[in-house]
Structure formats: C-alpha cells, structure tokens
Amino acid sequence: MGRRRPPAEKSAGMANKIKQGDIMTSKELKKVAEILDKLEWDTINEMGYRHISGGFAIARIKKFTRSYIKVDVKHGIASDCERRVYKDTLYIDRHTMQITEQ
C-alpha cells in the first residue's frame, strides 16, 4: 500500500496549478449553477425520465479555462431492474454563457 498524503499537502499542490484568469467570480458561479440546473431539468423532461422511476440527470463542471467551461452530463435510468447511464460532454462559453457542443 502506498503512502497517502494528508489533505493539506493535496490542497497546497492544487493551489499552484490555478491561474489568476481561471478563477470564477461568485456572480459567474451563480449563473453557471442556474445553467446546470436548467440543463438537468431539460434533460429529464426531453428524455422522458420524469415519468420513469429511477430517471436522473446530473450536470457537473469537469474543467474550466478563461474561455469555456467543460460540463459532463450523466443521465439515464438507475433502478433495481434496469441500469442505463449515458454521458454527454457540453461546453459553456464564459463570455456569452451559451451552451455549445464544440
């Protein structure tokens, strides 16, 4: 078994990788959260998961740069008798806040 680093060492290493332009403002984070919530809700409705037990959609930020935000959307059905999970990758332009498939 390998040596596990304490959380303090991990966070110190991550802090060095963040560039000044890559930080999101609280206003931008609120807008992105609204976009992700709407994306999840639209996926649930469009795919018909609202009417199926175990239907779900989860949108998460995977990565972001100065120009775009990469979002992974997992959606599908997860119940005791069926498990179908799909994954899509979308991008949000940080200047226009529009979703694209790039």
Examine residue 41 and state whether it is found in any structural domain, yes or no. Answer: yes
Examine residue 5 and state whether it is found in any structural domain, yes or no. Answer: no
pTM: 0.74
CA 11, CA 100: separation in Å to the nearest integer? Answer: 31
**Model pLDDT, residue 15:** 47
Distance of CA 87 to the CA centre of its chain: 11
User: What is the residue range of 48's domain?
Assistant: 34-102
Examine residue 43 and state whether it is found in any structural domain, yes or no. Answer: yes
pLDDT by residue, tens only, the chain of 102 residues:
455 555 444 444 444 454 555 688 899 999 999 999 999 999 999 999 998 889 999 999 999 999 999 999 999 999 888 899 999 999 999 999 999 887
CA 69, CA 55: separation in Å to the nearest integer? Answer: 26
Examine residue 22 and state whether it is found in any structural domain, yes or no. Answer: no
**Model pLDDT, residue 71:** 96
- Total domains, the chain: 1
CA 4, CA 61: separation in Å to the nearest integer? Answer: 26
Burial code (b: 16+ CB inside 10 Å, e: under 16) for 39-71 equals bbeebbeeeebeeeeebbbebeeeebeeebbeb
Examine residue 85 and state whether it is found in any structural domain, yes or no. Answer: yes
Q: Is 48 helix (H, G, I), strand (E, B) or coil?
A: coil
Examine residue 20 and state whether it is found in any structural domain, yes or no. Answer: no
Examine residue 12 and state whether it is found in any structural domain, yes or no. Answer: no
